[in-house]
Structure 1
Amino acid sequence: MTTNSAGPLADTAAYAAAVEEAERAAAAYYTAGESTLDDDAYDRLVRAIAAYEEEHPQEVLDASPTGKVAGGAVSGDVPHTVPMLSLDNVFSAEQFVTWTASVERRIGRPVAAWSVEPKLDGLAVAARYRQGVLEQLITRGDGTAGEDVSHAIGTVLGLPERLGAPATLEIRGEILMTTEQFEAANAVRTEHGAAPFANPRNGAAGTLRAKDRPYRVEMTFFAYGALALPDSGELTDTLAGLPHSEVLEYVAGIGVHTAADTAVAPRTVTTVEEVQAGVEDIAALRASLPFGIDGIVIKADLAADQRDAGSGTRAPRWAIAYKLPAVEKVTRLLGVEWNVGRTGIIAPRAVLEPVEIDGSTVSYATLHNPADITRRDLRLGDHVMVYKAGDIIPRIEAPVAHLRTGEEQPIEFPEACPRCGSEIDASEQRWRCTRGRDCRLVASISYAAGRDQLDIEGLGTTRVVQLVDAGLVQDFADLFTLERDQLLSLDRMGETSTDNLLAAIGAAASRPLSRVFCALGVRGTGRSMSRRIARHFASMDRIAAADVEALQQVDGIGKEKAAAVVRELQELAPLIGKLVAAGVNMTEPGATPPPEPGAAQEGEAEESATSGLPLAGMTVVVTGAMTGALEKLSRNEMNELIERAGGKSSSSVSKRTSLLVAGEKAGSKRTKAEDLGVRIAAPEEFAELVQAHLAVEV
């Protein structure tokens, strides 16, 4: 952790200490990906150093990180053909506008076009190809020379060993670990007795340099530029004159991975306002990306504009990194709480030394399960890397092992259920109280009665507690057998409130099967998965009779999840039986049951089930506030409507999106849909399109 606040530096001694700390942190960061500082703390420290140097130019130390690639902390023995520079940063829209004005003053004209693309959180490398064959892989180093890491050739997705054309050139880009690759890498490392990586960048940096590991770890490459090598022939003039956007198209065309096929594909725009919109769009997608970004890179697109703007010793003057608020910070693990969920799952939660991440103070983080704690080798008192993006619950990625002092203590696991003292079923990774839902009966019933499940108005937690304490309900099926006299006997239950509650329970009994199935709270399923299961099987009888193979025919269910659902349904069989006996609906309106084995292939069955429906084969995204006939529908109810009408609901706009329903204040999703040429419908138009299905009660 930093030893100063990275605020204004008071004097020469504070400045010297800050430079020393930055030098030490940069050396650890750019060599092994390890550092005593997270990115945000390092950025703040360097800004404080730069501010002091601006006021005291006569005191600038040679070791200062300002004006140097990689903070001046690293070097290499393989010279770059053209300097491989870093990027300067801006942190606000105002700073960005000031920077664009400086670029246009320098070149003496408006910039013709801007490229807007994600700033990938990885390790910059140069890949040298000769006659289409990858011969050498070099790190950025100090910008003039880098380290030869050619031993990693063949381990990086998106960086082919042979191109689709016999080109001689150097392709520059970022090597990183996706979230999936990072999790797989840490699983492999811990199996071999090594400490887990603290974060994906740490993993990529360490893996890229490792030569003699007894295991292989996969990484991914994204190209952000290319240049001709001295003996490239005609390609030299071709690449030198191409706009940046066309260079990326050329690179992708010969088989190298770029960000073009991701949700944050680079875009070319002409105005500062369009750049700002692009920044907002990419920032909005950050939490959903399968890889890390820490900002957006804006570049002058035309080669002439780049040439006239020129470059400094550290960074080009025609490109800038618009940094986003940090979503990753280092803090301390103070304790672990063990909470019991509504299905009896015992979930550990980390208690953290409070830290500000992405605009909010984080004091807790998820730890998933006991096996995860063991695998990551977490200990009380550890410095830990905490990650948070958007509305995602903060999570601990790994301990920062090189900061350990020896005073850290093991985390103690509970020997009995922390809530009721019953035995714990530890046969699976997620531990569970042997009483299951009975351990959290009130929570289980309240969940079933919630708006997105059975939607029983008037049945809040307080009322559920009354019913449980009075012995009137032992599960939510008992709600459907409650009698008027029983409810009238409860405190604060008059005739009107009793009749209203009974009417709401009666309405709940006719909800679609997807709602009833969701109310069961089957582990591994939620609202969307419950709808898919209900539509696929059409009735509860068929769901209950399904085996692992049959459940795998549902989109999004793999072998492991299918087996878990089968086990859960067997456990829930008595509850399902009570619901049937109480007259609760067990069918899905409009759903077609699957054909008998051999009658049709999976794709044919799905097509048959949705053919003729207004949204058949369409992927639909909803954004903004709905109006008209859709005004009172929740987002979950909108998704139900889409799926009943034959479509698939999605939360993000991409090339696969067929239709965007854009309400008031649609924002960045509408902009992205317009850029991609996706059809856009107002709420009123969409309501008319699905009118017959809108009439079905949601």
Structure 2
Amino acid sequence: MTTNSAGVLADTASYAAAVEEATQAAAAYYATGESTLDDDAYDRLARGIAAYEAEHPQEVLAASPTGKVAGGAAIGDVPHTVPMLSLDNVFSAEQFVTWTASVERRIGRPVAAWSVEPKLDGLAVAARYQRGRLDRLITRGDGTAGEDVSHAIGTVLGLPERLNEPATLEVRGEILMTDEQFDAANAARTAHGAAPFANPRNGAAGTLRAKDRPYRVEMTFFAYGALPLPDSGASAEALTTLPHSEVLRHVAGLGVHTAADTAVAPRTAGTVEEVQTGVEDIAGQRATLPFGIDGIVIKADLAADQRDAGTGTRAPRWAIAYKLPAVEKVTRLLGVEWNVGRTGIIAPRAVLEPVEIDGSTVGYATLHNPADITRRDLRLGDQVMVYKAGDIIPRIEAPVAHLRTGEERPIEFPQSCPQCGSEIDTSEQRWRCVRGRDCRLVASVSYAAGRDQLDIEGLGATRVVQLADAGLVADLADLFTLEREQLLGLERMGETSTDNLLAAVETARSRPLSRVFCALGVRGTGRSMSRRIARHFATMDRIVAADTEALQRVDGIGKEKAAAVVAELAELAPLIAKLVAAGVNMTEPGATPPPDPGTEADEERAGAEGVSEGAGGTGLPLDAMTVVVTGAMTGVLEKLSRNEMNELIERAGGKASSSVSKRTSLLVAGEKAGSKRTKAEGLGVRIATPDEFAELIGSFLG
């Protein structure tokens, strides 16, 4: 009997089954990270068990995970000098407020200060230093004793073998894999014939315990506390009286890695409201972090408040984990669809058994490319770990190999283009139809005519199909050579619709270079990148003539992307030439072309750009400002699309961004601004109404 989706346990039998399932899941989770339940399912199961026990205290089983560290999983036999406890959880702002009130009732006064820090999704360990040398590394285990994993000393980033001072103390924290380390670990494992890790935590747990692997896998340590050891001396003993925030600073000073250098650095708060702002800030950055977090930890900062609040058998009463919605779940891979993009790229998409992740139902996930499928050893019917953060498209981390039944089947790769039946170019990781854009002519031209590209009103996919079927359009440039008589000869094209379409095409002929470049659909670029490229080079001639080194001078373009863009532009050269011949604009208004590289003028410009990036200097109204737009625009800005607003920002010297952070200079808040305005207010970001913004940029609206 499985109960992993149940929140309510109906009877004694279902309760006993739930306890058994939770116990087995905890043992697997804390031993290897290979639990049959994801975090969200385990949390719901544990809450159901606790609720049943609260109503039926006479039926509580000895094996119940309630009130036990690590769910009662007994792993390891090295005693901890001080119990290494777990944390209790809250799942909403209301539950958090109730918990803070209980802490203050317990200590008989308001908590002086709170510490707010990310709850890292790793494996808890205790690192014991003797006279500054890392002597022993121990897992949490059951809280009273853990497993000795000292063989891993010297392999974990952020956990030095020697401190900056000859201190004797124990540092506690989490060992985890960053996203980059996780990808590298799975590449190494599959290259050596091993199954990929299902998720970063599973990878960290397995790697920490491995002793004789023929390859090395990198991990990272983040400290979250420290305490003295026997014979520590006065300096380490002082740790017991320092505020938690000071303990973290002391540990960082010794050379141990903390979260202080990340975008979600621990911070202190004086009120519950300030804590909530900190929680929202950390949660809001979750999707952009290079490592996983599954919540935010809030602790009473002062040692006196911690002491007076006390400690239970499972968790301290002065700290809580504010859990965030799950961003990864286990579900079944039902099939793979092969879709052809507008540039001819053949992209696989996973069809999943629908599962709820982070508040939305997920039925599909990206699979990147065929090589990725092979590397991850994915099979139809696999139980797979699906990951989703923020608004990012869900992706499959890896199959959960230990759940395989033997009935899984290999994924079949296409032998010809699924769209047109032509041959497939498999020379690169991303497969492509040999016909390229010609394979998806309608999609390619429809994209180019879209509002954020050339904005040709009246030219939807149906009309493009009609033009293509009539032999009038074989590529984007042919739109600009259409004649009135040709269009009048088509079905459902009267004089009015013909004249309107020709007028829209004529208007599109004078769009700025950034729009034209975006309409080309160059792989690896989009609206924002197209604007940056156009602003940097000013003319299409200079873009086409740029080599990889020149393209890397554009913000956000690295070596690999630069090489891909150069190759794509070479392929697009005939189309660009046709557009030029058709009289399409190839310049960016207000942009200054770069001088030839290596010249004195180039050096002066580079220096000026350096000054501009750091402290302004262009004389433009939004010089060096990062601007976010949210809500519905009003007044003179009412009819502008979000892309047009971003274009306006960049013409005025600013940088358009989609998310509010400490680096945001200005938020343009229209009607129904919502959470972005709230976050900006919490961070002290300047906020302007649409009318105020229009006045600020002045003539750039013309």
TM-score category by the smaller chain? over 0.9
Relative distance call for 1:45 and 1:230 in structure 2 (3 A) is same
Q: How many Å separate the matches in 1 of 2:27 and 2:90? A: 23
Q: How do 1:113-512 residues align onto structure 2 when only pairs under 5 Å count?
A: 113-512=113-512
Q: How many Å separate the matches in 2 of 1:7 and 1:671? A: 33
- Matched residue, 1:585: 585
The answer to whether the Cα contact below 8 Å between 2:177 and 2:203 also exists between their aligned partners in 1 is: yes
Q: How many Å separate the matches in 1 of 2:687 and 2:131? A: 46
The answer to whether the Cα contact below 8 Å between 1:281 and 1:669 also exists between their aligned partners in 2 is: no
Quote how far apart the aligned CAs of 1:449 are.
0.9
- Matched residue, 1:690: 697
SS in 2 for 1:223: strand
Identity %: 87
Q: How many Å separate the matches in 2 of 1:668 and 1:78? A: 47
| 1:634 pairs with 2:637 | no
Q: How many Å separate the matches in 2 of 1:645 and 1:161? A: 51
- Matched residue, 1:646: 653
- Matched residue, 1:604: 607
Q: How many Å separate the matches in 1 of 2:158 and 2:687? A: 33
Q: How do 1:78-93 residues align onto structure 2 when only pairs under 5 Å count?
A: 78-93=78-93
Say which is worse superposed, 212-221 or 496-505, in terms of deviation: 496-505
Residue by residue over 1:241-297, the C-alpha shift from the partner in whole angstroms, topping out at 9 and shown as x without a partner, is: 222223223333333332233332323223333333332332222222221111121
The answer to whether the Cα contact below 8 Å between 2:626 and 2:655 also exists between their aligned partners in 1 is: yes
Q: How many Å separate the matches in 1 of 2:374 and 2:299? A: 45
Quote how far apart the aligned CAs of 1:353 are.
1.2
Quote how far apart the aligned CAs of 1:666 are.
4.7
The answer to whether the Cα contact below 8 Å between 1:449 and 1:456 also exists between their aligned partners in 2 is: yes
SS in 2 for 1:173: strand
Q: How do 1:524-543 residues align onto structure 2 when only pairs under 5 Å count?
A: 524-543=524-543
Say which is worse superposed, 362-371 or 656-665, in terms of deviation: 656-665
TM-score (norm 1): 0.94
Q: How many Å separate the matches in 2 of 1:181 and 1:221? A: 12
Question: What residue identity is the alignment partner of 2:324?
Answer: L
Say which is worse superposed, 306-315 or 265-274, in terms of deviation: 265-274
Question: What residue identity is the alignment partner of 2:314?
Answer: R
| 1:105 pairs with 2:131 | no
SS in 1 for 2:398: strand
Number of equivalenced pairs: 695
Question: What residue identity is the alignment partner of 1:167?
Answer: A
Relative distance call for 1:608 and 1:327 in structure 2 (3 A) is closer
- Matched residue, 1:71: 71
SS in 1 for 2:285: helix
Say which is worse superposed, 234-243 or 422-431, in terms of deviation: 234-243
Q: How many Å separate the matches in 1 of 2:263 and 2:276? A: 17
Stretches of structure 1 that go unaligned for 5 or more consecutive residues are none
| 1:595 pairs with 2:595 | yes
Quote how far apart the aligned CAs of 1:681 are.
4.3
Q: How many Å separate the matches in 1 of 2:396 and 2:262? A: 26
SS in 2 for 1:690: helix
- Matched residue, 1:544: 544
Q: How many Å separate the matches in 1 of 2:693 and 2:216? A: 50
The answer to whether the Cα contact below 8 Å between 1:595 and 1:605 also exists between their aligned partners in 2 is: no
Q: How many Å separate the matches in 1 of 2:606 and 2:688? A: 28
The answer to whether the Cα contact below 8 Å between 1:2 and 1:36 also exists between their aligned partners in 2 is: no
Question: What residue identity is the alignment partner of 2:606?
Answer: G
| 1:613 pairs with 2:616 | no
Residue by residue over 1:133-160, the C-alpha shift from the partner in whole angstroms, topping out at 9 and shown as x without a partner, is: 3332221111112222222223222223
Say which is worse superposed, 248-257 or 168-177, in terms of deviation: 248-257
SS in 1 for 2:405: coil
Say which is worse superposed, 33-42 or 489-498, in terms of deviation: 489-498
Relative distance call for 1:150 and 1:623 in structure 2 (3 A) is farther
Quote how far apart the aligned CAs of 1:452 are.
1.3
Say which is worse superposed, 63-72 or 75-84, in terms of deviation: 75-84
Q: How many Å separate the matches in 1 of 2:258 and 2:672? A: 32
Quote how far apart the aligned CAs of 1:340 are.
0.9
The answer to whether the Cα contact below 8 Å between 1:280 and 1:668 also exists between their aligned partners in 2 is: no
The answer to whether the Cα contact below 8 Å between 1:31 and 1:74 also exists between their aligned partners in 2 is: no
Quote how far apart the aligned CAs of 1:96 are.
1.9
Relative distance call for 1:200 and 1:603 in structure 2 (3 A) is farther
The answer to whether the Cα contact below 8 Å between 2:630 and 2:669 also exists between their aligned partners in 1 is: yes
- Matched residue, 1:34: 34
Q: How many Å separate the matches in 2 of 1:593 and 1:397? A: 43
Relative distance call for 1:237 and 1:676 in structure 2 (3 A) is farther
Quote how far apart the aligned CAs of 1:689 are.
3.2
Q: How many Å separate the matches in 2 of 1:311 and 1:665? A: 45
Q: How many Å separate the matches in 1 of 2:336 and 2:578? A: 38
Relative distance call for 1:620 and 1:398 in structure 2 (3 A) is same
Q: How many Å separate the matches in 1 of 2:168 and 2:638? A: 59
Relative distance call for 1:672 and 1:267 in structure 2 (3 A) is farther
Question: What residue identity is the alignment partner of 2:653?
Answer: G
Question: What residue identity is the alignment partner of 1:138?
Answer: I
The answer to whether the Cα contact below 8 Å between 2:2 and 2:17 also exists between their aligned partners in 1 is: no
Quote how far apart the aligned CAs of 1:625 are.
4.1
Quote how far apart the aligned CAs of 1:669 are.
4.5
Relative distance call for 1:151 and 1:625 in structure 2 (3 A) is farther
Relative distance call for 1:289 and 1:505 in structure 2 (3 A) is same
- Matched residue, 2:574: 574
SS in 2 for 1:480: helix
Q: How many Å separate the matches in 1 of 2:157 and 2:509? A: 52
Residue by residue over 1:494-526, the C-alpha shift from the partner in whole angstroms, topping out at 9 and shown as x without a partner, is: 333332222221121111111111110011111
| 1:24 pairs with 2:24 | yes
SS in 2 for 1:611: coil
Say which is worse superposed, 433-442 or 627-636, in terms of deviation: 627-636
Question: What residue identity is the alignment partner of 1:269?
Answer: A
Say which is worse superposed, 461-470 or 597-606, in terms of deviation: 597-606
Q: How many Å separate the matches in 1 of 2:500 and 2:34? A: 61
Relative distance call for 1:578 and 1:312 in structure 2 (3 A) is same
Aligned CA-pair RMSD: 2.3
TM-score (norm 2): 0.94
The answer to whether the Cα contact below 8 Å between 1:19 and 1:64 also exists between their aligned partners in 2 is: yes
Quote how far apart the aligned CAs of 1:660 are.
4.0
Relative distance call for 1:608 and 1:20 in structure 2 (3 A) is closer
Q: How many Å separate the matches in 2 of 1:286 and 1:568? A: 34
Question: What residue identity is the alignment partner of 2:701?
Answer: L
Stretches of structure 2 that go unaligned for 5 or more consecutive residues are none
Relative distance call for 1:396 and 1:606 in structure 2 (3 A) is same
